[in-house]
């Protein structure tokens, strides 16, 4: 599972490299890396399903990989949003408490995205 996740992270990194080399806009980069992040999620889900295979908590592989992939794409979209907004010229007013609340809610959603999606299958 660790190998799958480690190799999986190379997929969105490759997406980011492609976007940087092509000098794509922040929004094109955001979407591209999120799509590549789905590949990272697919490898993570596959590694997890393989690790659980044959145990009493085995999971349905194709569904597990699909929901993990979709949740990872969502997590990448959410996690990259602050920096993409900054790159697009939308600067967060860090003196505004609402910005801190939004960051906090976003962080919680990001951290819960994959396990929540997977929980629905278990």
pTM of the entire predicted model: 0.90
* Terminal alpha carbon distance of the chain: 18
pLDDT of residue 5: 86
Tens-place pLDDT, residues 36-47: 999 999 999 999
Report the domain count for the chain.
Answer: 1
At residue 97 the predicted structure's pLDDT band, cuts being 50, 70 and 90, is very high
- For residues 16 and 33, the answer to whether their CB atoms sit within 8 Å is yes
The average pLDDT across 61-68 equals: 97
pLDDT of residue 65: 97
DSSP string of 58-93, one letter each residue: ---HHHHHHHHHHHHHHHHHHHHHHHHHHHTT----
At residue 79 the predicted structure's pLDDT band, cuts being 50, 70 and 90, is very high
Burial of residue 45 (CB within 10 Å: 0-12, 13-18, 19+) is buried
Tens-place pLDDT, residues 27-36: 999 999 999 9
Domain with 77, as residue range(s), is 2-119
- Euclidean distance between CA atoms 17 and 114, whole angstroms: 25
Q: Does position 122 have pLDDT exceeding 80, yes or no? A: no
């Amino acid at each position: 599972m660790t190998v799958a996740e480690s190799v999986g992270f190379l997929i969105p990194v490759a997406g980011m490299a492609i976007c940087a080399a092509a000098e794509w806009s922040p929004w094109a980069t955001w979407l591209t890396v999120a799509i590549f992040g789905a590949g990272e999620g697919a490898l993570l889900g596959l590694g997890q399903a393989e690790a659980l295979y044959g145990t009493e908590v085995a999971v349905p592989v194709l569904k597990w990989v699909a929901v993990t992939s979709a949740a990872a794409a969502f997590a990448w979209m959410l996690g990259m949003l602050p920096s993409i907004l900054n790159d697009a010229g939308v600067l967060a007013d860090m003196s505004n408490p609402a910005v801190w609340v939004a960051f906090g809610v976003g962080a919680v959603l990001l951290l819960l995205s994959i396990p929540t999606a997977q929980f629905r299958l278990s």
